[in-house]
Chain A
Amino acid sequence: MKAVLITGTSIAQAQGKEHGKLSAKYKDSVAVCEMDESDMAALKIEPGQTVKVTSPYGSITVKAAKSREPRPGLVFIPVGPWANRLVGPETGGTGTPSYKGLEVEVEPAPGEKVPDLEELMAEARGGNEKW
């Protein structure tokens, strides 16, 4: 399914980070993709199931969640290392990348694991590290 991705802050994200970036609460609050009920029905997925979100710059597996307000075609991932896998490098000479209004593809990803923060950062370093 094609959708427009908005990233941004949410109460859960802001509270999650105060529990520590390495906490389960943080991961649960930001490694999620909020979608409209009708979009979830079209993809035949339930809240809590994994979805793969792909932009022209990368893709990431996160958990689907139902958006509080109706907004078909618009998906929301709170700011964080998961959302930023999808954000492009271009700033158009302003310094600020486009965190909002990205065109993405959302598909069900049954059985796929949502990576941990440690795994994402180890991947960034290009190796297997233990912390």
Chain B
Amino acid sequence: MVVVKNVLCSFCGCVCDDLEVSVEDNKITGVKYACALATEKFLHSQEERNPDPLMRADGGFRKVGLEEALDKAARILAEAKYPLLYGWSNTSCEAIKVGIELTEEVGGVLDNTATVCHGVGLEAIQDVGEPTGTLGKARHRADLIIYWGCNPSQAHIRHTTRYTAFTKGLFRSQRKDRKIVVVDVRKTVTSKTADLFLQIDPGKDYELLSALRMAVRDMEFETEAVAGVPVEKIEELAEMMVSCEFGMLFFGLGLTQSSAKNENIAAAISLVRDLNLKTKFLMLPMRGHYNVTGANKVALWQTGYPFAVDFSHGYPRFNPGETSAADLLVRGEVDAALVVASDPASHMPWAAVKNLANIPVAVVDPTLTATSLLADVRIPAAFNGIEYGGTVYRMDGVALKTRKFVEPPPNCLPDVEVLENILHKVRSLKEVA
């Protein structure tokens, strides 16, 4: 048995880098230091796999050779007028880079899963800038941590033990050195351990953020409560914010997916900017998939835009609402799709799923997903961070390298190789035409 140390976790945006994985005869037999989510991923990554390339036939699927499946995927893309190339948050930056080249080649739209999660935050950042820092800063310096519209106890389980409340930092070594605040529409396990919990009415984040900006500026309120939160509590939080030495606001989908969306994030950024006139304050999104940040960064440095990048004019354009995956699918504007390491059929509204179901779709994914049930061709792939290594970006934008420690099943190539193959085939098809 081999014990592989300092393994990166390719599950959530925390990308913990201290896991220990035991491997025996190419089988993962145990994982140490991983949270419940990561344990599930590592221990089941080799099961529940269907390593067969599949192609739709007679109302079902038939097994085909890998080459035939790759040909089919290339044909779907080469024949489309306006294809969508979607996913990218559960794969390596190297694969994303090839994906962008492929999108440009076929004149389609490249969108990543941020489009339905934290994308609106990226829109706000393009409007007002980003007062941000690393998780290391949070760990070593922050004496006030705010979790707004996120629940690390369920979604980023080791966030509090590695980066905030319960970690041993340089200047803050214990729980009592930090104040923890939770703002959420419901009580959660995280809110129970907080020093202050503000229960907010659903969809009223913008109002509460604006009220906090007033309180931070010592303005008077002519009401008793805002967004369901009594004014005394708003003033209490404002006082904690102003008097802390180093504050950090972590926000989740509770803020990006509720009614005011990008305006919520713009308001939060403005609040943090106001606070920086009085103390030191930073903010970070709680990114979900382990490399969704990378998907945004690679798209940003290659095209100028972090997601929803349209190449149909021959140069990159970005106009969320027009060039974003959910809108394109709902309006039935795209005529084919390549889905890489993601499952839009599980995460898009039904109106989008129905249209996705009725265009040619190629899926590249290590496992069978809801989207693969809609696909015309399904190409298996290896798991990044388990069966091949690549670059990923942690939620704070720190680049890290994952490693390979077991061999993938037959037919399962790293995504980057699958995509290079498809790109090559698309180019040959275009030359012939």
User: A residues within 8 Å of B by Cβ?
Assistant: 4, 6, 8-11, 14-15, 18-23, 57-58, 67-71, 74, 76, 79-81, 84-89, 91-101, 117-118, 120-122, 124-131
Contact = CB atoms under 8 A, between A and B. Distances in A.
B120 to A, nearest CB: 5
B60 A92 contact: no
Given A94-B261, A128-B59, A6 B186 contact: yes
A21 B188 CA distance: 26
13 contacts: A11-B154, A18-B45, A79-B346, A84-B347, A95-B326, A96-B257, A96-B326, A97-B349, A98-B259, A99-B257, A100-B202, A101-B258, A124-B353
Contact of A15 (B40, B117, B259): B40
A57 to B, nearest CB: 7
A21 B375 CA distance: 15
B402 interface: no
A21 B37 contact: no
B353 A74 contact: no
B126 to A, nearest CB: 12
A9 to B, nearest CB: 5
Contacts of A67: 186
Given A20-B367, A22-B368, A87 B256 contact: no
Nearest to A5: B202
A15 B37 CA distance: 6
A80 B346 CA distance: 5
A79 B345 CA distance: 11
Contacts of B307: 95
A87 B329 CA distance: 14
Contacts of B374: 121, 124-125
B187 A71 contact: yes
B120 A96 contact: yes
Interface of B: 11, 36-37, 40-41, 44-45, 48, 59-61, 115-117, 119-120, 123, 151, 154-155, 157, 185-189, 202-203, 253-254, 256-259, 261-262, 288, 307-308, 320-321, 324-327, 330, 343, 345-354, 356-358, 367-370, 373-374
Contacts of A88: 349, 351
A99 B120 CA distance: 13
Nearest to B323: A95
Nearest to B153: A11
Nearest to A9: B155
Contacts of A95: 115-116, 119-120, 123, 307-308, 320-321, 324-327
Contacts of B258: 98, 100-101
A85 B350 CA distance: 5
